[in-house]
Amino acid sequence: MRVFKGEVTALPPDKSISHRAALIGALSEGTTEITNFSGGFDNQSTLSVLKEAGITIIQQEEEAASGRRIRKVVIESKGLWSFHEPSAPLMCNNSGSTMRMFAGILAAQPFASELIGDSSLMKRPMKRVADPLRQMGAAVELSDSGTAPIRIQGTKELKPVEYRLPVPSAQVKSLVAFAALHADGETRIIETVRSRDHTEVMLDLETIMHEGDRIIVVPGRKRLAAKPFYIPADPSAACFIVSLGLLARGSEILIRDVCLNPTRAAYLAILSAAGAGITIENQRVIGGESIGDILVRNIAGIEPLQISDPQLVSFIIDEIPMLAVLSAFASGQFELHNASELRTKESDRIDALVVNLQRLGFDCEEYPDGFIVKGRMRIPSGTVVIDSFDDHRIAMSFAIASKAVGIELDITDIKVVGVSFPNFFEIIDGLEVR
């Protein structure tokens, strides 16, 4: 039996907050210092495109009070229109966050630009990016299939709009907000279903509730003064370590300094309600974000997870792959609905999960917006090949099951974990009690 015990102090800094801190720093006047910036591939893509568009960025390492090395990013900018026309297409690699959110900024710049990505990103839908930017007055061209490359002819004369998000998307909400900062007047972004709110928090935007809708008010052409940012540990990364502890009986793991923003850490409440041994300690607020330590004790099993509420799905969209694998292995069952957004991620995550769970002997039924795991029909012998579909969250979800349960899996393209969690295996190996 495998047991995992110890304290985790080196989780990757939060990806979502790192992206936004860099983009907001590039829009601000003065020197922005970002402490504990993510070193993951996606966040480095954001820094890279900002540099290619004329922003001065310095990265350096410092020693934290805990003794570990952390990354500090310093950004020098002169405000909303500090960007220069890039000399070549801007490579976003695998980062949809980079491509979508930076498109909002480029739409307001008085030059032409083009955003491209790797083979995976170039297949992902981008019409939801183009539509609001066109309404605001930018000229945006996509491929015939509605994907990247995204070609933008920006303008300093963007119009304020009232934009209702057709589906919950923090990335689309953020790209509209970043564009709206440049517009000549006040923009209102309307959410029927709330998504993660880091952009609103970091920009200190006013939010209004009206007849069930959440309205984010973005003032146009407002000067942004540079300010420091601290990036807490990524709750999505923490989900993998939490699941490791819950799958391996007798484990006890303490995960330090995790972002507990309620739009990001809702999976903890789901697991607690299912009987998981999870406790939050040392909770406090830094820079408007709730931060705390997660203590995981495996003292009993968990009930099968059933997830269908659209609001909840929006909050846990990145954690669903791990939750599905956890529930399948812990209880033999899992049920998910209203999650069609999963089909537009780095892979079609619904299909990827069903394909791989079936290879492991689980009885699954797939739907357009989710799937059901009904039970386990057989336990395969020998090593099972798991297809990561070049998706970091798929790869890590099944790697956790392999480590916790002790099954042999051959996961394709496993190095893709570096997109968001470069020290994934180092942390897991350091927790195993031998």
- E strand map for 368-418: 370-376, 384-386, 409-411
85-88 LR contacts (CB < 8 Å, sep 24+): 85/53, 85/109, 85/111, 85/112, 85/113, 86/49, 86/52, 86/53, 86/54, 86/113, 87/52, 88/52
> In this structure, what CATH number is given to the domain that contains residue 43?
3.65.10.10
- Residue 1 is predicted with a pLDDT of 66
Verify that 321 and 393 share a domain, yes or no: yes
- Do both 256 and 155 map to the same domain? no
Q: Which amino acid is at 24?
A: I
User: What residue has token string 């980079």?
Assistant: 98
Residues 147 and 249 in one domain: no
Strands (E) in 15-130, as ranges, are 29-35, 56-63, 69-78, 90-91, 112-116
What are the C-alpha distances in Å from 206 to residues 199, 203, 395? 11, 9, 38
Note the pLDDT of residue 68. 79
* 30 alpha-carbon distance from chain centroid: 28
Looking at the chain, the whole-number percentage of residues with pLDDT higher than 70 is 99
Number of structural domains the chain divides into:
2
What are the residue ranges in the chain where pLDDT is below 50? none
Same domain, 142 and 287: no
**Is residue 209, in this structure, part of any structural domain at all?**
no
Could you tell me the pTM of the whole model?
0.90
Q: Which two tokens stand for residue 404?
A: 């916790």
In this structure, the answer to whether residues 154 and 47 fall within a common structural domain is yes
Residue ranges in 33-83 assigned as alpha helix (H): 41-52
Is the bond leading into 262 cis (omega within 30 degrees of zero)? no
Report which secondary-structure segment, H or E, holds 306.
Answer: strand 305-307
- Closest alpha carbon to 77 in 102, 103, 56: 56
Task: Considering only CA atoms, give the Rg of the chain.
Answer: 21
**Which of 150, 183, 216 is at the close of a domain?**
183
Same domain, 254 and 361: yes
With vertex at residue 393, the alpha carbon angle to CA 25 and CA 344, rounded to the nearest 5 degrees, is 75
Does a structural domain hold residue 253?
yes
Q: Is 25 inside any structural domain? A: yes
Query: Could you read off the pLDDT of 88-98 as tens digits, one per residue?
Result: 999 999 999 99
Shared domain check, 134 and 54: yes
Q: Long-range pairs for 362-367 at CB < 8 Å and ≥24 separation?
A: 362/328, 362/332, 367/337
Model pLDDT, residue 300: 82
Q: How far apart are CA 278 and CA 290, in angstroms?
A: 17
Q: Is 50 within a domain?
A: yes
Indicate the helix (H) or strand (E) that contains 17: helix 15-27
Is the domain of 72 the same as that of 146? yes
**Which residue range is the domain that position 101 belongs to?**
15-160+171-183
Q: Is 114 part of a structural domain of the chain?
A: yes
Per DSSP, helices labelled H in 53-169 are 96-106, 127-136
Predicted pLDDT at 62: 85
Residue 94 lies in a domain: yes
Identify the active-site residue in 318, 387, 390, 391.
Answer: 318
| Residue 4, in any domain of the structure | no
Do 236 and 382 lie in a common domain?
Answer: yes
The answer to whether residue 318 is catalytic is: yes
Number of Cβ within 10 Å of residue 145's Cβ equals: 11
CA–CA distance, 391 with 420 (Å, rounded to integer): 10
- Please check whether residues 383 and 291 belong to one and the same domain: yes
**C-alpha dihedral sign at 265, 271, 273, 278:** negative
170: tokens are: 């923090």
On whether both 285 and 400 belong to a single domain, the answer is yes
For residues 339 and 418, membership in a common domain is answered with yes
